[in-house]
Homo-oligomer: A and B are copies of this chain.
Amino acid sequence: MSEIKKGVQILDCTLRDGGYYTNWDFDKQLVQAYLNACNKLPIDWIEIGYRSPAKESYLGQYFYLPEYLIRDTKSRTTKKIALILNEKDIDPQTVRALLGDCIGHVDMIRMAVNPIRMDQAIELAKRVKEMGFLVAFNVMYMSTWDQIEGFYEKLSQLNGLIDYFYLVDSYGGVYPAEVTKAVEKVRSKLDVSIGFHGHNNLELGLINTLTAIEAGADVVDATFTGMGRGAGNLKTELLLTSLSSRHGLSVDFNALGNVVGAFERLQKEYGWGTNLPYMVSGANSLPQKEVMEWVTKRFYSVNSIIQALNNQSEGIEDNLKLSLFNSKKHYKTALIVGGGDSVKQHEEAILHWVKKQDELCIIHASSKNANTFIELSKDQFFCLVGNEGHRLENQVHGSFGFVTQCVLPPYPRKMGTYIPATLEKKSAELKEITFTNRVKDSHTVLALQTALELQAQSIYVIGYDGYSGDAVSQNEIELSTENEALFFEFVKVGTQLSSLTPTRYKGLKPDSVYSRI
């Protein structure tokens, strides 16, 4: 690290890349703290978000960057401003309309470019360049470039067209020696400034970036606390601290401490940063988009994610094709059991009620309350998603006698399939989910579909307590929103759902187990 080139530029893209966690909305105060700190720090560029045509889902202000927001930001920063486009989303015909009001406010337009779409990206770049912006290509998936025929040869077409060519380690799985080789290869074809954008799955963000600088990169990206999709990026504070101690870069550590503190508070809520699933996806060049979804929303255990990643890396979509769930027996009443604490609280009444019902089956959406029903001689179905088989084993300590059948999501199952060995013969998969397209592998969707398959005329629910307003994580809110939507969709095509225990879900008809015994 002895010869870091003088004058290397630093681009902070916290707002752009951090938006993956906040859906591109940020507190005004946080943004002000961010801009204040950047003004005091040796950062050359801030990339503040995307410009994009309208998308179908809600995305916040830093995804669309309305003109007033760009103007306002520009008035509060002393830094040069960049924004980024997803090349694949942009019709070159529309780019003048899309970027017209950025002229004079934005210094550089970066383009996120898939390396197999270089021709299209070149067309788009021409239009953007004509508008007078500096143009950067952020070319993704650098670990795959050697496998793309003619990739390096095509680079010479970029001379005179773009101003910056970024190497993006999208998977976060590239090692320093490979960074050196790639920078040298790009440099041999291309006479523009070179940039590096490193992800941190394997905690190689710093060393890869320092290596890129040593190999000749002119500009490098980072984000405060590493905030960014999945495992996140090189941390701006780590880069600055390293350059400060090794190369005498002058850093205002008070300003740095302030902004890091502000983003750390947000990190407690959203929890970005690397972990075992991100490490495995990085090490094996698997997309972290899905991993992020699994980790943050679906509560899959590290184990089941690892299993799914292993399946993907071996090209296996699933490891087990099961027979189709097809119960010849039907039931008058189905009781769906969720994982809420109310089941234990009202256990005695629930058991009284269950015993009195003829033709009742129990469908365990979650195994969490399984042992309440272990002594019961009713037919019992267990919904196994992801790691649920392990949880079932732990709950009942291998006493599977009371399990009638295990029900799994339709094939193929991305998350892999874990079934306790002694239950394999009792397991079947659903043919399809008929009442919704929303999700195929949640506990709730499985339980409701199972109730449909069993042709239950009355369906009761217990243990779906819902979350109170306080101290609920973003993940819990999303799961609860999803369950709520499933209940509404189900009731439209199926039968009413009554909750016999207290619930906050509005899609469940309030009822009480005590009124029925």
A residues whose Cβ falls under 8 Å from a Cβ of B = 1-2, 173, 175-177, 200, 202-207, 210, 235, 237-238, 241-242, 244-246, 253-254, 256-258, 260-261, 264, 274-276, 279-280, 283-284, 301-303, 305-307, 310
Give every chain B residue within 8 A of A307 (Cβ-Cβ). Answer: 253-254
In the complex the two chains form, is B306's CB within 8 Å of A256's CB? yes
In the complex the two chains form, is B203's CB within 8 Å of A302's CB? no
Give every chain B residue within 8 A of A237 (Cβ-Cβ). Answer: 276, 279
CA distance A489 to B254 in the complex (A): 36
In the complex the two chains form, is A241's CB within 8 Å of B280's CB? yes
Q: Which of A205, A257, A303, A307 has the most CB of B within 10 A?
A: A257
In the complex the two chains form, is B261's CB within 8 Å of A302's CB? yes
Nearest 8 interchain pairs by C-beta: A245-B283, A257-B303, A257-B302, A253-B306, A203-B203, A241-B279, A207-B207, A241-B283
CA distance A430 to B473 in the complex (A): 45
Give every chain B residue within 8 A of A261 (Cβ-Cβ). Answer: 301-303
Q: Write 22 A-B pairs (CB below 8 A) sorted by A numbering.
A: A2-B177, A175-B207, A176-B176, A202-B241, A203-B203, A203-B235, A204-B206, A204-B207, A207-B207, A238-B274, A241-B283, A244-B283, A246-B283, A253-B276, A253-B306, A254-B307, A257-B276, A257-B301, A257-B302, A260-B276, A261-B301, A261-B302
In the complex the two chains form, is A242's CB within 8 Å of B303's CB? no
CB < 8 Å: which of B177, B203, B258, B303 contacts A1? Answer: B177
CB < 8 Å: which of B1, B235, B302 contacts A260? Answer: B302
CA distance A392 to B370 in the complex (A): 53
In the complex the two chains form, is A310's CB within 8 Å of B207's CB? no
In the complex the two chains form, is A253's CB within 8 Å of B241's CB? no
CA distance A212 to B261 in the complex (A): 34
In the complex the two chains form, is B207's CB within 8 Å of A205's CB? no
CA distance A175 to B280 in the complex (A): 24
Closest chain-B Cβ to A243's Cβ sits at a distance in Å of 9
Give every chain B residue within 8 A of A274 (Cβ-Cβ). Answer: 238
Nearest B residue to A206 via CB reads: B203
